[in-house]
Structure 1
Amino acid sequence: MNDRHHFVVSCLWSRSPNVALVSSGKVYAVGGHDGSEHLGNMEMFDPLTNKWMMKASMNTKRRGIALAALGGPIYAIGGLDDNSCFNDVERYDIESDRWTAVASMNTPRGGVGSVALGSHVYAVGGNDGVASLSSVERFDPHLNKWTEVREMGQRRAGNGVSELNGCLYVVGGFDDNSPLSSVERLDPRLCRWNYVSELTTPRGGVGVATVMGRVFAVGGHNGNIYLNTVEAFDPRMNRWELVGSVSHCRAGAGVAVCSTHISQIRDVGQGSSNVVDCM
């Protein structure tokens, strides 16, 4: 009998962090804004001990970054502060607890989405300080180089990005005027984007994760209110359906999927500031 359980961790503290899950089974919350200043610090959640621990801080304080884990290290990509959008990229080594700079992106991207797919890290959309972007680029860690790939059909920032069945899914986000319900899928083998079924409601600043063969979209803003609803995409049916809710309405939350034994599941401990949900 399989006694492992996958659960989705959704974090919205006063720091508005970004979240990545790495192969060691730990969840990392990085950067953000605490209501007074931009942050560069990082906290790690261990589901086995149900505790958060402070780790090394990034070199650049920022919010609206994207995180991706590829082969162990964590990449913190882009972001913004009150003055600039960044093309900076930092890589965190878990063993040495240290951040180092790698090659910068070709384009500054605040509110960017990212995911590791194959042997590359993708940076998708975002805002360059002037307008939302449809452009996409990917990082080759062996060459330490970012390369432009085919752009999306829709400009978007604050979008969620996840991987499913070898494809990259980009969910919701904002164009320059309003939140989006559109969803696009990139098959890197064909280097081609196509639209799939739309969300049941527009979601800008949506958190996205893949678990058990479906893409989950958590919270966001629909143009009128912040959302606490969760919907899931089934690629076989090409359909989104509402599947539940989290305790707080939120946008810009970080979402990650963790896998642990059923006997070890409990209420997820809070971070240094505010709210963490488990579903």
Structure 2
Amino acid sequence: MNGKIYVAGGFTRNVHMGALDVAFEYDPASDTWRTLTPMKSPRGSVGVAALNGKIYAIGGRGVDTVTVSTHEVYDPATNKWSDRAPLPKARDHLAVIAVDGRIHAIGGRFNATVDNTGMHDVYDPTTNSWKSAAPMPTPRSAMAVTLYRGLILLAGGECNKRKTFIENEGYDIKADRWVSLAPMATGRHGFRAVTLGDLAYFAGGAAGCGGGEVSDTLLTFSLP
């Protein structure tokens, strides 16, 4: 956002221990980091999205290792965090993305990986309210998300019978429906995605549940 990268929250050790309230801003032009006002609530595995010049930090897991529905927004103009309407149900490892003036919070887990959900909640900042949208067909957590040709792509995740997911599903925003797309060759979780031009890129991740078998591969996905 505004040519900078924002980071919020995190853990200091496994598993889900030492939740942090920290926030940082990275400026690629000067290759420098700046410490921002910390979040009001320490959280790791939090979903973060940028919308209308502000940073939204949604859900996550607190210092007691319990998932939360906390929702805060950061305003760079004031360097302050404010509370917003909480998630309808607490969860972490969810995918969060801003599209067309709203924020989509998809999937995640209520507690352990066996508690994955396909919940799909949409936040409207103009009314400070949430509404439900079509749920993700394959409940999972720690997926990669990106907007590609009008579809919100959700790839990978953990964990399916002790294996990471290979699924790649796309949400059609206008039709409020999901489509199944070409799966990844091997499953992974805890990775990130970005769209550049006609390709969606998926980088890194872990092939094993819980962080094992860390990968350095870069995958691309495209539609005809």
Partner residue, 2:34: 100
Per the TM alignment, residue 259 of structure 1 is displaced from its structure 2 partner at its CA by: 2.3
Partner residue, 1:193: 130
Partner residue, 2:21: 87
Q: When the two structures are superposed, what TM-score results if normalisation uses the length of structure 1?
A: 0.69
Q: After alignment, is 221-230 or 202-211 more displaced?
A: 221-230
Q: Can you list the C-alpha shifts for 1:80-108, whole angstroms capped at 9, x where unaligned?
A: 12141111011111111011101100011
Return the alpha-carbon distance in structure 1 between the equivalents of residues 203 and 35 of structure 2.
31
Alignment check: 8 A CA contact 1:227 1:251 kept: yes
Q: When the two structures are superposed, what TM-score results if normalisation uses the length of structure 2?
A: 0.85
Indicate yes or no: 2:68 matched with 1:169: no
Indicate yes or no: 2:213 matched with 1:278: no
Of 40, 58, 72, the match for 2:3:
72
Per the TM alignment, residue 256 of structure 1 is displaced from its structure 2 partner at its CA by: 1.4
- Cα 1:158–1:168 shift into 2, 3 Å: same
Indicate yes or no: 2:165 matched with 1:227: yes
**What is the alpha-carbon root mean square deviation over aligned residues?**
2.2
Of 154, 173, 179, the match for 1:217:
154
Where do 1:127-142 residues align within 5 Å?
Answer: 127-130=61-64, 131-142=66-77
SS of structure 2 residue aligned to 1:274: coil
Partner residue, 2:118: 181
Per the TM alignment, residue 217 of structure 1 is displaced from its structure 2 partner at its CA by: 0.6
Return the alpha-carbon distance in structure 1 between the equivalents of residues 30 and 168 of structure 2.
36
Compare the two structures and name the one with the higher strand fraction. Answer: 1
Per the TM alignment, residue 160 of structure 1 is displaced from its structure 2 partner at its CA by: 0.5
Q: Can you list the C-alpha shifts for 1:177-204, whole angstroms capped at 9, x where unaligned?
A: 4111111000111211011111111111
- Cα 1:99–1:243 shift into 2, 3 Å: same
Of 227, 249, 269, the match for 2:187:
249
- Structure 2 counterpart of 1:227, one-letter code: F
Unaligned runs of 5+ in 1: 1-69
Identity %: 25
